[in-house]
Structure 1
């Protein structure tokens, strides 16, 4: 029988000690990172409270649409009942900014695709003049109303407003609004209001 040698463990080298410490620090940091990220997300980085592009009108404003008629004589309430309506307030002598807003509302409605029939467009003005026939021909399906009370309720010229399917003003978009922001808000509303 051979005699067994009992080997004592060799003392770690300085390099092994340094490598072990680095590993321990790295492991500590990996475990600490989620805690620091959660703390930062809760106390430091605050997402904005507004999830929509447009400004929500709270409480919604009931619009005086029950007795109004469009320029072609149809009841306005029939044109907007059950639809999300993009409303533009601009004078009947539509300047280039007004024409741009009407164009945006037409394009936004088109972008909604399968939900196009759930979206209406409305042009409101408070003077008694007739808009240009060519402009109206460029915007088929546009509801046009001349009424000072409705115009003031919709809001200032230069902003697109959104009317809910019950005829309440519920959102206003900023002046010179980005159509992408309006589309995003409208698509959310169409999705969740089936």
Structure 2
């Protein structure tokens, strides 16, 4: 079941947006996702499906590229018209507690994929079913998907007509290995 909030104004450092929450109620959990969008959506909007990363998005961690991707997406969407679908699926779906445990394993030399596997998870535990609901809610039929993740492209191509647009961030000494693993083990288009 999915509940939908009212729409509200959201002025940000990136510009003025509209915001709406989608409460996804599953048998074992409730997740509250967000859509941050421009006032108007063109026929082929720029869309970023972004999974929550508290450490990158809010704390501006240098260990990943998440916060930078979110900021680039908001800047581009403000300019080109579109939306960010912000999914509450921390740590590729393993949750904040397990993500911190994965970080600790990474501190011992494991990479991001190996750490998730060592904790008993798949390399990516995310579920994108709510995204189809959001596409339908906004009557989207064709998007420009802002991503480097081939798995997202494959999943979303079953939901909507799309063109992929890259989202490239700065590499630093703290995330260079992380980005290399995303490219080598997860096939990201970097």
Name which one, 1 or 2, has greater alpha-carbon Rg. 1
The alignment's TM-score, normalised by the length of structure 1, stands at 0.28
Greater relative CO, 1 or 2 (CA 8 Å, sep 6+): 1
The alignment's TM-score, normalised by the length of structure 2, stands at 0.29
Where is the helix percentage greater, Structure 1 or Structure 2?
Answer: 1
Where is the strand percentage greater, Structure 1 or Structure 2?
Answer: 2
